[in-house]
Structure 1
Amino acid sequence: MHDQRLKDIVPFVASVECGSFAKAAERLHVTGSAISKSVSRLERRLGSQLLERTTRSLALTDAGQAYYQTCTRIMEELLEAEAVLAAQRTIPAGRLRLAAPTTYGRLGVMPVLLPFCQHHPELEISMAFSDRFVDLFEEGIDVAVRIGHAADLPASVGSRLLGREKMVFCASPGYLAQYGQPTNRAELLQHKAILYERVDGSAKPWLLTTEDGHADWCEAPCRMALGDVDAQVQAVCAGLGIGQMPTWLIRQQLKSGELCVILPGIQPDGLALNLVWPRRKQLLPKVDALLAALNNLDIGASVLAEIAGQRESGKE
């Protein structure tokens, strides 16, 4: 096969997936003019129009749809062949791109990633910290850590559930000394709340376990609504109110006594923590090694037991 045929296939597929020549150019790090010329050259060689152009978008013709499906199948087979060959290496090596939520990436992933890097000096690690949804294929991600719902994934994506966050209500000793410690659900809902502010500007209510074991969203008097979890922790530590946060986020504050847990019996589990990756990359030693390392991510489930153990030791 002539080299130019393969060269023109990649811009064509990128144009279809990105929806425009300009976005395809950004992905491939070339000019929009180069993409347009490549697709036009491909159409002339095939003798068929593959794309309907408008000023705002691209659309596949019937011939283009058939050709696109063939091209993607060929590219997928090439990637799988490369993965099989790369899997014959026993030492993880090469570039490895990871993505994780900003705060959890810093507090939960980095303590695992740093010794992993030290153990595998032939790896070149690149990590994206972002709270937005990261597209594995569009952004070339090998493994992503996601907090939240991970069902309905396509067959091309592998996933592993690591567990669920443990949520706790907490406040500073100073706040509790001034306003008293709530002893039941009704008293808790009378206290000043430090809430998380959603993207739409609304304050996220508290989630409590009801007497029949179900989770229930409950409104509380909002003292502050903050769109950043680190700022939320600072406000609660400053004694401005009670917060509901995952234990992985406030591990150090709980262990040091800067924050105290309130009514642990009415607090349900939080969001799920998942690993996701392009399934075709799972055979690569570097990806397999990273997945094994991230299987030990701390989701804060043991924090309360550690605190209880510290208290018992202090009594002896």
Structure 2
Amino acid sequence: MHDQRLKDIVPFVTSVESGSFTAAAERLHLTGSAVSKSVSRLEARLGSRLLERTTRSLKLTDAGSAYYQTCLRIMEELAEAEAVLAAQRTIPSGRLRLAVPTTYGRLGVMPLLIPFSQANPDVALSLTFSDRFIDLFDEGIDMAVRIGGSADLPASLGCRQMGRERMVFCAAPSYLAREGCPTSERELLQHRAIMYERVDGSTKPWLFTTADGHPLWRDQPYRMALGDVDAQVQAVCAGLGVAQMPSWLIREPLARGDLVIILPEQQPDGLPLSLIWPRRKQLLPKVDALLAALEHLTIR
């Protein structure tokens, strides 16, 4: 990338942020004509109009919006690279973007982020709560907590395995008082099931461990199938049936006595928990500090 490309990016980004060439020129200590020519030169080189000009304002085109987001990432990465190379920057600081699963992020990650934030007042945490697959590079994420989906990662990503889920069968005491407590796999399969429904409409089968230690998946007729784990917990606590869920998800209902574990000998391992981050960001003090803060993250 030659110098002129970098020179044109700054006036373009500043013009978008300022809303006009005149305001951008004031911020950059240039003339309005110089800023306008710089953006026009950028558009000519790219062969695409980035901004719609009116007498009062500037508006991004679709192509301009996509290019603007790319420019922001480039400028942020340059700033982070300078921070890594600056010997005096040893205190974690700057914006830190973390992506976490929706429910596990609330129950498992947030209790660790609160003391981290208190200990690092110069770090501005930005959290994305989502159960969808997130591309760290496309979305500018510094670190992700991921349940499952960590196999075959590219070499550009660092990964730390934090353990695997422990799957347990559970029900409300009111349900067991009414329907009886199963004492075997065969009896369990006769009970009303509250299943988790995947995005494609299928239900996640129950997982058992065979006598020789192998996993065995069983589809189960259900009374209710829910595509949200919090709703699934609510239904089971209400005494509507039996469910198999990760132990981290029902830790609080178990402690309150709203749920009890059944068939305790059947507690197979579920999905893995991983911390994932772009390797080029690992030397940043803020990322290194967050890795240390999450080293005690657990999913069992």
- With structure 2 as the length reference, what TM-score do the two structures score? 0.77
Q: 1:93 deviation in Å?
A: 1.0
Question: Which position in structure 2 is the counterpart of 1:196?
Answer: 196
Q: 1:266 deviation in Å?
A: 2.0
Q: 1:123 deviation in Å?
A: 1.1
Show structure 2 runs of 5+ residues with no match: 20-35, 48-62, 64-73
Q: 1:2 deviation in Å?
A: 7.4
Contact 2:80/2:284 (CA < 8 Å) preserved in 1? no
* Residue aligned with 1:106, SS: helix
Deviations, residues 189-228 of structure 1 (Å, cap 9, x unaligned): 1111000011111121111111221111112220100000
Residue 170 of structure 2 corresponds to residue 167 of structure 1: no
Q: 1:40 deviation in Å?
A: 5.2
Residue identity matched to 1:41: A
Contact 1:94/1:122 (CA < 8 Å) preserved in 2? yes
Shift of the 81–128 alpha-carbon distance from structure 1 to 2, 3 Å rule, reads closer
Deviations, residues 46-84 of structure 1 (Å, cap 9, x unaligned): xxxxxxxxxxx9xxxxxxxxxxxxxxxx99995784253
Residue identity matched to 2:139: E
Structure 2 CA distance, aligned partners of 1:138 and 1:86? Answer: 26
The sequence identity of aligned pairs, in percent, is: 69
Residue 133 of structure 2 corresponds to residue 133 of structure 1: yes
Shift of the 284–170 alpha-carbon distance from structure 1 to 2, 3 Å rule, reads same
Residue 117 of structure 2 corresponds to residue 117 of structure 1: yes
Residue identity matched to 1:42: R
Q: 1:263 deviation in Å?
A: 0.8
Residue identity matched to 1:269: D
* Residue aligned with 2:163, SS: strand
* Residue aligned with 1:149, SS: coil
Structure 1 CA distance, aligned partners of 2:202 and 2:296? Answer: 35
Structure 1 CA distance, aligned partners of 2:241 and 2:275? Answer: 34
Show structure 1 runs of 5+ residues with no match: 11-24, 45-56, 58-73, 302-316
Contact 2:162/2:298 (CA < 8 Å) preserved in 1? no
Contact 1:168/1:267 (CA < 8 Å) preserved in 2? yes
Contact 2:83/2:89 (CA < 8 Å) preserved in 1? no
Question: Which position in structure 2 is the counterpart of 1:247?
Answer: 247
Deviations, residues 265-289 of structure 1 (Å, cap 9, x unaligned): 1231110000000100100111000
Q: 1:3 deviation in Å?
A: 4.8
Structure 1 CA distance, aligned partners of 2:288 and 2:209? Answer: 38
Contact 1:210/1:266 (CA < 8 Å) preserved in 2? no
Number of residue equivalences = 256
Shift of the 80–115 alpha-carbon distance from structure 1 to 2, 3 Å rule, reads closer
Contact 2:192/2:223 (CA < 8 Å) preserved in 1? yes
* Residue aligned with 2:223, SS: strand
Q: 1:153 deviation in Å?
A: 1.0
Question: Which position in structure 2 is the counterpart of 1:274?
Answer: 274
Shift of the 176–77 alpha-carbon distance from structure 1 to 2, 3 Å rule, reads closer
Corresponding residue to 2:44 among 41, 56, 63: 41
* Residue aligned with 1:249, SS: helix
Contact 1:100/1:129 (CA < 8 Å) preserved in 2? yes
Q: 1:108 deviation in Å?
A: 0.6
Q: 1:86 deviation in Å?
A: 4.6
Deviations, residues 103-122 of structure 1 (Å, cap 9, x unaligned): 11111111000111011111
Structure 1 CA distance, aligned partners of 2:18 and 2:139? Answer: 16
Contact 1:83/1:280 (CA < 8 Å) preserved in 2? no
Shift of the 80–123 alpha-carbon distance from structure 1 to 2, 3 Å rule, reads closer
* Residue aligned with 1:248, SS: helix
Q: Which stretch shows the higher mean deviation, 284-293 or 75-84?
A: 75-84
Question: Which position in structure 1 is the counterpart of 2:98?
Answer: 98
Structure 1 CA distance, aligned partners of 2:97 and 2:18? Answer: 22
Question: Which position in structure 2 is the counterpart of 1:312?
Answer: none
Contact 1:193/1:243 (CA < 8 Å) preserved in 2? yes
How does 1:1-316 map onto structure 2 within 5 Å?
A: 3-7=3-7, 41-42=44-45, 81-82=81-82, 84-86=84-86, 88-299=88-299, 301=300
Contact 2:143/2:276 (CA < 8 Å) preserved in 1? yes
Structure 2 CA distance, aligned partners of 1:139 and 1:86? Answer: 26
Structure 2 CA distance, aligned partners of 1:216 and 1:204? Answer: 13
